Amino acid sequence: MRVPAVGPPSDAVRRRMESQRRKDTSPELALRKALFIRGLRYRIHWPVPGRPRRTIDVAFPKARVAVFVDGCFWHGCPIHSVAPKNNGQWWERKLAANAARDEETNQSLAAAGWQVLRAWEHEDPTDVAVRVWGLVKGGDLQLGGNHLGHLLDHGNDD
């Protein structure tokens, strides 16, 4: 989903956006380390079935479990996401498009028989690894919160 430009961001903002890592972020690396310590072996940047330009952050193809580590700002964390003050309409559309793309990705994976777990970047990687273990070894979402959908788990920070 393309975001129509109400007014494109300034050059400084554009440079900051482009400098943000899209893959192998610190939260992803911390989660991968926690998973590896627990003996779980995974694939990284696995293609989303039917969506060749999208990838799964941490994939367990045999178990059909997809794990995404979402940035609080870019994916609209209800705890930490703060709307930018400048160019608000553009940012609102941009972040809404991100959420729509996430949901479309979740649906594509679910249609292909995958379970999806989405973790926020601020979550403790050890806690997320426990939830992932439950999915990979147990096959259900009984561990952790589930506030975004039947297959989607960003965890609850109650």
pLDDT at 136 over 90: yes
pLDDT in tens, 10-45: 666 556 555 555 678 999 999 999 999 999 999 999
Task: State what percent of residues in the chain have pLDDT above 70.
Answer: 73
Alpha carbon dihedral 4, 5, 6, 12, in 10-degree steps, equals: 150
Q: Which CATH class is domain 24-138?
A: alpha beta
pTM over 0.75: yes
Q: What is the pLDDT of residues 54-89, one digit of tens each?
A: 999 999 999 999 999 999 988 888 898 787 888 888
For residue 148, the model assigns a pLDDT of 36
Alpha-carbon span 43 to 10, nearest angstrom: 37
Nearest Cα neighbor of 2 from 81, 96, 68 is 96
